[in-house]
Amino acid sequence: MTKTTETTYGAAFTVRWMETVAAAVEREAGRLTELDSAIGDADHGANLRRGFAAVAEALAKEPPATPGAVLVTAGRLLISTVGGASGPLYGTLLRRAGKALGEAGEVSRAELADALAAGVAEVGRLGGAVPGDKTMLDALTPAADALRESFAAARAAAEAGALATVPLRARKGRASYLGERSVGHQDPGATSSALLFAALEEVAAG
């Protein structure tokens, strides 16, 4: 019987993922800000663009040696460079995931899924939110679960989760101040979270 070898992913893969996220955020910054202008502070795109540009620059200069270290570095930079709520939330997601991966030089998709699930749980604790509150968790939670199946499933789950925020009433964050007026708008944090998983699938397929 032939034993199948599971594909693993190293630091270079994780660096490419963060670089691809940075490019996607750069490309979609205007749309993210437009979504945020309807129910937030109209700064989500600009804030994330600045943060992920700093991440890409730092990783290009001195790439860490392990996937976990790449994510910890990215998370730390997002916390220090991104204003508003998105910096601490994205920073927490990536730092916690990186710590969960530990010092392993290569990780499997299942291990990455578990690590991101730990990061998502930490985001929920930090923001006091759950899926259905019209936040980034509406994309992150199903995506991290679906990553156990495949990269493509994670991307699809994140994108579906972001779209599903449109009819929701916001219960957390700046948008919650609008009450019923938050209904009918796609959540910008869930939308940018979908970019994270679209980039991951792109690099994995690449």
Q: What share of the chain is helix, strand, coil (3-state, %, to 5)?
A: 70, 0, 25
Q: Report the distance separating Cα 112 and Cα 196, nearest Å.
A: 13
> Quick check: 1 pLDDT over 70?
no
pLDDT value at residue 174? 67
pLDDT value at residue 177? 61
pLDDT (mean) for 121-125: 97
pLDDT (mean) for 88-104: 97
pLDDT (mean) for 83-112: 95
pLDDT value at residue 6? 82
Q: Report the distance separating Cα 135 and Cα 115, nearest Å.
A: 20
pLDDT (mean) for 127-146: 95
User: Residue type for 133, please?
Assistant: D
Q: What is the pLDDT of residues 34-84, one digit of tens each?
A: 998 987 888 999 999 999 999 999 999 999 999 999 999 999 999 999 977
pLDDT (mean) for 25-30: 96
Q: Report the distance separating Cα 131 and Cα 90, nearest Å.
A: 16
Share of the chain above pLDDT 90, in %: 80
Q: Pick from 88, 99, 154: which is nearest to 123 by CA? A: 88
pLDDT value at residue 40? 80
Structure confidence at residue 135 as a pLDDT band (50, 70, 90): very high
pLDDT value at residue 2? 45
Q: Report the distance separating Cα 191 and Cα 58, nearest Å.
A: 25
Q: Report the distance separating Cα 34 and Cα 20, nearest Å.
A: 22
Residue 184 tokens, joined:
């009918």
Q: What is the pLDDT of residues 140-181, one digit of tens each?
A: 999 999 999 999 999 999 999 999 999 887 887 767 666 677
> Quick check: 3 pLDDT over 60?
no
Average pLDDT, rounded, for the chain? 93
